[in-house]
Chains A and B, each alone.
Chain A
Amino acid sequence: MSATTAFNPFTMAQTQFDKIADRIGLDDGTRALLRSPLREYAFSIPVHMDDGNVQIFRGFRVQHNDARGPCKGGIRFHPLETFDTVRALSMWMTWKCAVADIPLGGGKGGVICDPHNLSAREQEAICRGWVRQLARDIGPVTDVPAPDVMTTPQHMLWMLDEYEAIHGGRYPGLITGKPVGLGGSLGRTQATGFGVVYCLREALQELDIQPQDTTASVQGFGNVSQYAIELYHELGGRTVCVASWNQAEQTSYSFRKADGIDLDQLRGITNRFGGIDKEKASDLGYEILPGEAWLTQEVDVLIPAALEAQITGESVADLSGRVRVIAEGANGPTTPEADAVLERNGVFVIPDFLANAGGVTCSYFEQVQSNMNYYWTMDEVLTKLDHKLTDAYHSVSELARKQKLYLRDAAYVLAINRVATACRDRGWV
């Protein structure tokens, strides 16, 4: 099988970039610079395995662009990791930080390994080995990693510990995703869900709709959904339908209550994975509908906050004509075909990487707090988060309005232009 005929994630990211670059009219130099990462590291990590053998693991770090600030991005442990995947994701991080207007660049890293084949000790050896190879090339003011696919706060702490041992000091700002008390930030659980609704609140205001006059239907009942609903209800909105996964039955159900769900009540009958107890919900007077029913409700707002590709070229036809705003809490819930229909119908879609930027913003706050070794209260974190995302939202929507762009396109244009400008201002291009 030739890998080149397959869609290559990096090629895909470059193609996406090229389209926007064309739109902005980016000069060749800047375009060439941004099409590829600034720096790439690939290295071997020898690990003494529990059985006495030595195994060599391949590690990566890609620093796509740091014109706007230190690189920021996760470390993935994946058995089929490729350099091109890491490149693509590092580029995406650059745009993501830029659209949220946080002073960070984009990076990504990884190790080809499957933690399911490794003991905890071997994983620790990989983490420490990764840092030993990169100790001079990452740092609290140069490149700040974070947990990602199959990496956990535990991995981050092993990495931080190794870095600090090498550099002889305490540098909690090296890495984010740490637990509170060891350099973590409060508000991480709430950040993404609240972020979605900060954006939604601003969008409604722009559309001149009072939140208290609106109803919403939400897919998912995990962290993101629960906090989004919490804040939306505080604004006066009413959630009439929530879809949630039923692990035992391996299917999802929509839970509907026309006069609005009681969030606390529903949380009380939900497991830690966001699965709502069907029987108890029924006893509490919720209508139990098929999993897809959340999408077809007569509501003003849809918040897809669970899965990819939910609003597709086909399912978009089932949306109620009343829907005015879709706030994407999940990654990629809307397919390009659906986007075209929604744009035509004038439905206001707050794109994923703006709507769910609360997460990366809170990571940025963690880095800031860690670097000054002074930690904010929950209120401080959430207030700052509100300001940051409100500003980010307005920048994007203003551009969209002025340039008559679909919000998703505007977000990309804005992000890439910000990075391009930083590169030019620094005299790089």
Chain B
Amino acid sequence: MPKRSRQRRLAELSDRLQELSERLEPSEQPAVAAELTAPSRWREAVRILRKTDRLLALRIGRKVVNHLCSLGLDEAQRLLAEADAVDDPSALLGESNVPAPKHALSTSILLGDEPFALAATHLGEAELLRLLRRWIMEERAGAFIRVLGNPRSTLQEIGESLRYHRRSLAAEDLAASICRTVRVLLCQRYLTDQLEFLKVAKDAATTEDFDDLIDRLVLPPESHGKLGGKGAGLLLASWTLDPAETAAVACAITTPSVATDIDLAEVRIPRTWYVASDAVLDFIARNDLEDVMRQKFKDVAEVRSDYPNIIQLFKHSLFSPEIVRGLSVALEDLGERPLIIRSSSLLEDRFGTAFSGKYKSLFLANQGPPERRLEAVLDAIAEIYASVLGPDPIAYRRDRGLLEFDEQMGILIQEVVGRRVGRWFLPAFAGVAFSRNELRWSPRIGREDGLVRLVPGLGTRAVDRIGDDYPTLLVPGQPTLRANVQPDEIARYSAQYVDAIDLDQGAFVTVPLAEMMAAAGADYPALDKVFSILNEGMLQKPVPMFLDPAEQDLIVSFDGLVRETSFLRQIQAILVRLEAGLGHPVDIEFAHDGEHLYLLQCRPQSQGDDAAPAYIPRELPAERVVFSAHRYVTNGTVPDITHVVYVDPDRYAALPDRAAMLATARAVGKLNSVLPARRFILLGPGRWGSRGDITLGVSVTYADISNTAMLIEIGRRRGGHLPELSFGTHFFQDLVEARIRYLPLYPDDTGVVFNTEFLLGAANELAALVPEATALADCIRVIDVPAVTGGQILRVAQNADLDEAVAYLAEPT
């Protein structure tokens, strides 16, 4: 029997069975209930089964008997023995070391009515019909699994097979083990081979999810590719947020304060198309670019100088007709909306490798006739393919031994979330969020409270760190605690520019905020959620009718968003759900068009090499420890510190006058400019950056400390009172953007080390480095660590999980 027609008949049979069993379901309609008593609906079913597919009927007959045996029915045992012509079934279970005889099988018993009649008697007709249907479904699924499990099957074949079997796979009563096998295989073929990922994905995914996916997947001929990290991560996140998953994940959520009334079904995923990762291989082969790919083994300088040519070479290469056709369909579906073309490499965003931002993402205005839009998309994809050979990714891969790994690159074609505002297209706001907060400006903020970096417009500015332009920092678990509280602080540490797509120019642009607001005015989406008006030192809510951007000072404060919407609770619910579901801290990218929140990306929370929990050495000899801490510790290692600048709290407090204290700040500023950048740390009393009463801390500005690797505040008890430290609040956000670490020390706590012998005893370089500050040499100690330790350096290991930090002398790395 031809395979296809058999399948079709199976489908019909299954439908017929469905119909029969529906009529047998207990119903409120008396007429149907009466039919229950009508004899032998099952006979009709079995008749059809035998007629349709004799082999199948035989297998099903055996399943019936096996099932009845498992229920302990003696008659069934007898039937089975007859069917297999076994005299003594128990003999097979013994310890006999002689091969069992091969018997002739008697199929007639299994093809007859007897097993079914027995089942109808013992199970009831309805149950029998249900079982028949389920077994037929399993037979069909089996066919699909054979395609799916065959490594030679192409994604085209799998897709076709999935489309064909979609209905039987959706059957509710399909055996759990089969469903699971199908899900695992689907995840493996489309998403990743990584075990950690599969473990999570197989439970979050449903076959319907893949059913949706294959319709939006562009494949090269004979594809064996995958979606790549970004694509897989986004899909996994969206499945995890699916309300159907809620119950399972909710059990795993332990954070007590998380809102339970947030409807995560409200969270959307932008319409996305995917290009399989092996399309790049097809592209390379088609255009004879294999030689170029060996570029990665050259030295970085050469890679850098060749890179511009490679981009052009790629841009002038051709895609296979299949890809071009697929992308045309995608563009038809996506319409004339701005797009972002994102890389989704197999190396990127994997569990354990932080490979974020190394490959390109390109924005396209996507306006105009279809041919032109298609050309732009092809051009962008070629450029992203070329970025595999960019100097940064290559250097990064070389450092991590990933160079040999064959770099396949999936592509995401995603509609940009947003609205048209004047000539621009942009979301109301966008940003990134982390489920673990590693930047606490208040002791009231815990790690599990999370962190959001929020900007108006496209989220590119929340990811990057840019001079005098700041994202707004919010803590989902502590929405009322803001990093900046005074109106002038809020204004200073806020967005001054907006990234958007200029629809007229067809380009990605950065627009000064004032210019955009002058043009957009009250048309800006969610205006009163994003902006406040700074008026006479008060932050006021903008009233669209009275908005006058020329006269009013519009500040990005997100006050309205925090006060009047459930946005932060929504973000927190997402983060907590994803962290619980994925079993790993996560970071996400999102955008909001003023009405809906869209999830753009999800991946394990990136812990740059310097931000992972550090190993805390335990057996250090006392003389090698310079200080230790066990409060408000964040994660990370500050390696290879060559200089320690220590402002002694007692001696600073004992300075004769204000002028001496101001001179101390100036000397620190000088040291900041002469010491090697990021190779020294600053330790000082109380609050760095104090104003007014500068006995409380050295009155530096951010410019005076901008090159330090670490800012440390020492809180010593004074007459039973422990001073509150600043947590860097005077320039907290500057520290964040420059990745300067902050640590408070409490030397009077029991169990901590504060090695004054080293800090006060080691030779002081101050006079040599800043001669004009020689008079302050008592108060300011500058220690050249290698010089006084015979070549050692200072390393600060911080571990937030243990809430412990230790600074110790070690051999340089």
Contact = CB atoms under 8 A, between A and B. Distances in A.
Interface of A: 1, 3, 5-9, 12, 50-51, 76, 78-80, 82, 85, 114-123, 147, 149-150, 152-154, 157, 177, 179-180, 184, 188, 247-251, 271-273, 275, 308-309, 314, 335-337
B729 interface: yes
Interface stretch (B183-191, B298-306, B319-327, B477-485): B477-485
A121 B480 contact: yes
Contacts of A80: 686-687, 690, 693, 696, 723-724
Given A1-B650, A80-B686, A247-B467, A114 B729 contact: yes
Contacts of B687: 79-80
Contacts of B726: 79, 114
Interface stretch (B118-126, B440-448, B500-508, B752-760): B440-448
A318 to B, nearest CB: 14
A118 B658 contact: no
Given A1-B716, A149-B691, A153-B537, A271 B485 contact: no
Please list the 7 inter-chain residue pairs (A to B) with the smallest Cβ-Cβ separation, ordered nearest first.
A119-B480, A248-B467, A6-B653, A79-B724, A250-B703, A247-B468, A248-B468
B729 to A, nearest CB: 4
Contact of A179 (B491, B535, B732): B535
B517 to A, nearest CB: 13
Interface string B416-450: 00000000000000000000000001111000000
A179 B695 contact: no
A309 B700 CA distance: 13
Contacts of B356: none
Contacts of A117: 442-444, 481
B536 A116 contact: no
Nearest to A189: B536
Contact of B724 (A114, A157, A251, A271): A114
Contacts of B468: 247-248, 271, 275
Contacts of B729: 114, 116
Contacts of A120: 480
Contacts of A177: 537
A273 B481 contact: no
A212 to B, nearest CB: 33
20 contacts: A3-B718, A5-B654, A6-B654, A7-B658, A79-B724, A80-B687, A80-B693, A117-B442, A117-B444, A122-B480, A150-B486, A152-B486, A179-B538, A184-B536, A250-B703, A251-B703, A272-B491, A309-B666, A314-B772, A335-B659
A7 B657 contact: yes
B536 A152 contact: no
A233 B496 CA distance: 31
A1 B653 contact: yes
A157 B724 CA distance: 27
Interface majority SS on A: helix, strand, loop or mixed?
A: loop
Interface of B: 441-444, 467-468, 480-487, 491-492, 496, 534-539, 553, 649-650, 653-659, 661-662, 666, 686-687, 690-693, 695-696, 702-703, 706, 716, 718-719, 723-724, 726-727, 729, 732, 772
Given A117-B443, A117-B444, A179 B536 contact: yes
Nearest to A251: B703
Given A251-B703, A273-B492, 8 more contacts: A7-B657, A149-B692, A154-B487, A248-B467, A271-B468, A272-B553, A336-B659, A337-B659
Contact of A1 (B662, B703, B718): B718
B496 A271 contact: yes
Contacts of A6: 653-655, 695
A250 B706 CA distance: 8
A153 to B, nearest CB: 4
A116 B496 contact: no
A3 B702 contact: no
Contacts of A247: 467-468, 492
B457 to A, nearest CB: 19
Contacts of B661: 7
B717 to A, nearest CB: 8
A68 to B, nearest CB: 25
Contacts of A118: 481, 485
B442 A9 contact: no
Q: Which residue among A8, A76, A273, A308 has the maximum number of chain B CB atoms within 10 Å of its CB?
A: A308
A85 B693 contact: yes
B485 A9 contact: no
A7 B443 contact: no
Contact of B727 (A116, A147, A273): A116
Contact of A309 (B443, B485, B649, B659): B659
Contacts of B467: 247-249
Contact of B486 (A9, A115, A121, A251): A115
B719 A3 contact: yes
A7 B718 CA distance: 15
B480 A7 contact: no
A269 B686 CA distance: 38
Contacts of B491: 272-273
Nearest to A154: B538
Contacts of A116: 441-442, 481-485, 727, 729, 732
A29 to B, nearest CB: 29
B649 A1 contact: yes
Nearest to A86: B693
Contacts of B536: 153, 179-180, 184, 188
Contacts of B442: 114, 116-117
B551 to A, nearest CB: 14
Contacts of B691: 149
Q: Which residue among B491, B693, B706 has the maximum number of chain A CB atoms within 10 Å of its CB?
A: B693
